[in-house]
Amino acid sequence: MNWGDVKDAVAKYAPLAGAALGGPSGAAVGSILASVLGVEATPEAVQRAIQTDPEAAIKLRQVEAQVEESLIDARGKVITAEAQGESWLQRNWRPLLMIWFGALVGAHWLGFTPDNLDVGTVGRLLDIVQLGIGGYVFGRSAEKITRTVSGTGLLDRVRGH
């Protein structure tokens, strides 16, 4: 048995950890999960703990919540660092990327799509564009609402102004 064999059982309670078990860092993630579950760092022991320990699901969900919290914190730090950056490009790469995506959508709409791209690939690319533009619009809306309600922008509050 290897860590990839345990990923589905783990993913029921901790989807991020389950996905990681199937990848190149599977052994490291498996060791962490084994430590949390209080068992030997083997796929068999983790599998057995999930099947027999009623507390295992709770422990795995707690680990997943901590990982998600860490990811959110890290993303917030990246955005704050970019917003406070000295470089114009560092502060504005996201809006520039959205403009570029908008241009790609316009080019597709006007028929400037390479012949070697199938409809499925174009659809997936446009899904990414939609996600990015939606995130950008949501972020700008949150900034404007914060400024209206508090008199200062969200970034001003993060910066401590």
Domain spans of the chain, in order of start: 3-69, 87-159
pLDDT at 111 over 60: yes
pLDDT of residue 143: 58
> What is the chain's mean pLDDT, rounded?
80
pLDDT band at 116 (very low <50, low <70, confident <90, very high): confident
Q: How confident is the model at residue 38 (pLDDT cuts 50, 70, 90)?
A: very high
- Tell me phi and psi for residue 144, to 5 degrees: -70, -40
pLDDT class of 50 with cuts at 50, 70, 90? very high
Query: CA Rg, the chain, in Å?
Result: 22
pLDDT tens readout for residues 4-28 = 888 888 888 988 888 888 778 888 8
The pLDDT assigned to 124 comes to 85
pLDDT at 148: 59
27-61: buried (b, 16+ CB within 10 Å) or exposed (e) per residue?
Answer: eebbebbbebbebebbbebbbebbeeeeebeebbe
pLDDT value at residue 144:
60
List all residues 6 or more positions away from 41 whose beta carbon is below 8 Å from its beta carbon.
30, 31, 34, 35
Name the pLDDT band for 97 (thresholds 50, 70, 90): confident
